[in-house]
Amino acid sequence: MKKIILLIVALLFITNIMQSQVTIGTQSAPLKGALLDLKETDETSGGENSQGGMILPRVSLVAINSLSPILTGTEPNYTTLKLTYTGLVVYNVTDNPTASLTKCLYVWDGTQWVQMNAPAPSSLEADDGLSISGGNMVGLGGDLTKETTINLGDSNLVFNRSQGNIEIGTSTPQAILQVDGTSTTDPLILRNLPYLTDPNPIDGADPTYYNLKISKSGVVRKEAPTITDANDVAVFTLNAPQEIAAATTTSTVDNDHGEKGAGGTNLVWKTGSTSSNYITLPDTGAYIFSFDLFGTLTLGTSYIGSNIENVTDANTPQDANSFYLSAFKNNNGSNVTTNPPVDIAEIAITRTSGYNFASYTVTLTAAGNAGDQIYFKLSSRLGDSNNPQKFFWTLSTPTATNTARKTSMVFWKL
C-alpha cells in the first residue's frame, strides 16, 4: 500500500512540473497568457473573483542601488546576478531618508530600486514658472526657464483678488497693480489709445471719459474733465479786470476801426482755479457763447496824428461808442487778414450822465471739432479827426462785497 501511495504522489508531482501555468485558489485552469492565476471563483467577465489579495515579501532595503538583503553583494558573479533580478518586486518596511528609501513598493530595474507608488516630492521646482509643493499639487511660482507666450485664444485671463496685489518690478506692491521700472527703462508704454466718444461695451451710448493725473510718486487717479457733457452749460468768469480800448498804433486799426477785433483785448477766463485765454470745445459741433459784460466807463481821449492821448475834453463829451466782440478759432486774432473771426458782434454803449457803469449782453456762435480753441477779443472803435473821443471800458470781476457786478460767459452746444 505504501508503494502505491508513493507512486500516486510521484505522478501528481510530475504532472504539476509538466504544466506551464498554475492556478491558486480554484481547480480550474488559469487564463491563457497567465503563468500564475490567483482567484477564488471562475469570474470571466473581468469582475470580482476573490475576497483576498496577495501579500508581497516585506524586506528592509539598505541602499537604493543594492540588492541586500536579497543578495549579500559578495557573490563572485554579483554584477551579472543583479541583471537577472530585474523585475523583482518587494515592499520596503523601513524609512531611510539618508539612503533615499521610504515605505512603499519597489521594483528592481537591474541597477537600482524604483518606487512603484511614490508620493510626489514635497518640494520640487517644475519647469518654466511652475512648482510642485504639498503632495501632487502643481502651481505658479517658479522661475521662467525660456521665453513664454500665453495665447488667450477666445478665453479670458482673469485675476480675482481678496487682499493680494500684483507687482512688476519689485516684491512689495502698494497698489492693486504696481509697475516699477529702472533708470533706463520706461515702466509702462500705452500705444494706440485715441480719444473716442463712441459707445463702449461698459458705458453704452454717450460715455463720459475722464482724464488721468499722475502724482510725483507715480500714483495714478482719474480726474473729471472740465466739461463732462458737451450739452451742459459751462460757466466762466473773467479772470481779472481788463481794460478795453483801441491800440495806439493806427496802421492796422484805421482800416477796420476794430470791427474785426484788431488791436483789442483777449479775454482771459476762469473756471474754478483754472485760467485760460481760450475755450476748448469738448465735442464736435456748433456752440452758443453768451456774454454778460459789466464794467466802468471812462471818457476823454483825443486823436492827434497817429497817437491817442488821454486828454479830457469837458466841452465836447462823447456819450456813445461802439465795441466789437470777435470769436476766433485756433487763432488769437493777431492776424485778421489770414485768420478772420468766425463770428463778430457790435456793442453800442451809451453813457448815462452821472452813471459810469455799463452792462451789456451779447451772444456769439462758433462751430468746430472737439479740441478746437476758441479765443474772444473785445475792441473799441478808434476815434478819428471827425469823432475824436472814445470810451475806455474796464470789465470787472466779482468782489467780496458785490458778486453780481461781474463779467461772465456761459456756453452750450446746439
Render pLDDT for 374-388 as a digit per residue (tens, 0 to 9): 999 988 765 554 455
Residues 125-145, mean pLDDT to the nearest whole number: 73
292's grid cell:
454778460
Identify the helix (H) or strand (E) that includes residue 293: strand 285-298
Going by C-beta distance under 8 Å and a sequence separation of 6 or more, which residues neighbour residue 224? 210, 211
Which of 159-173, 178-192, 385-399 is the most confident on average? 159-173
Which of 105-114, 128-137, 388-397 is the most confident on average? 105-114
31 vs 284, more confident: 284
Q: Is 126's pLDDT higher than 60?
A: yes
Percent of the chain with pLDDT over 90: 20
Q: Where in the chain is the domain with CATH 2.60.120?
A: 234-413
Going by C-beta distance under 8 Å and a sequence separation of 6 or more, which residues neighbour residue 123? 132, 133
User: What SS3 class is residue 375?
Assistant: strand
DSSP secondary structure code for residue 35 in this structure: S
Q: Is 165's pLDDT higher than 60?
A: yes
Given this model, what pLDDT does residue 383 score? 55
DSSP secondary structure code for residue 355 in this structure: -
Going by C-beta distance under 8 Å and a sequence separation of 6 or more, which residues neighbour residue 103? 91, 92, 93, 94, 95
Q: Is 167's pLDDT higher than 70?
A: yes
Mean pLDDT of the chain: 78
Q: How far is CA 66 from the centre of its chain?
A: 60
Count CA atoms within 13 Å of residue 387 on its CB side.
12
Rounded Cα gap, residues 154 and 303, in angstroms: 79
Hey, what CATH class is 234-413 in?
mainly beta
Given this model, what pLDDT does residue 380 score? 79
Rounded Cα gap, residues 65 and 77, in angstroms: 16
Given this model, what pLDDT does residue 338 score? 81
322's grid cell:
461802439
Query: Strands, DSSP E only, in 159-244?
Result: 166-168, 177-179, 211-214, 220-223, 234-238, 242-244
49-69 burial by CB neighbour count: b if 16+ within 10 A, else e?
Answer: beeeeeeeeeeebeeeebbee
Least confident of 65-69, 268-272, 310-314, 363-367: 310-314
Rounded Cα gap, residues 207 and 36, in angstroms: 79
> What tens digit of pLDDT does each residue of 66-112 get?
999 999 888 888 888 888 889 999 999 998 888 888 889 999 998 89
Given this model, what pLDDT does residue 302 score? 46
185 vs 285, more confident: 285
Give the number of residues written for the chain: 414
Q: Is 54's pLDDT higher than 50?
A: yes
Whole-angstrom CA distances from 238 to 101, 391, 404, 412 are 88, 20, 13, 18
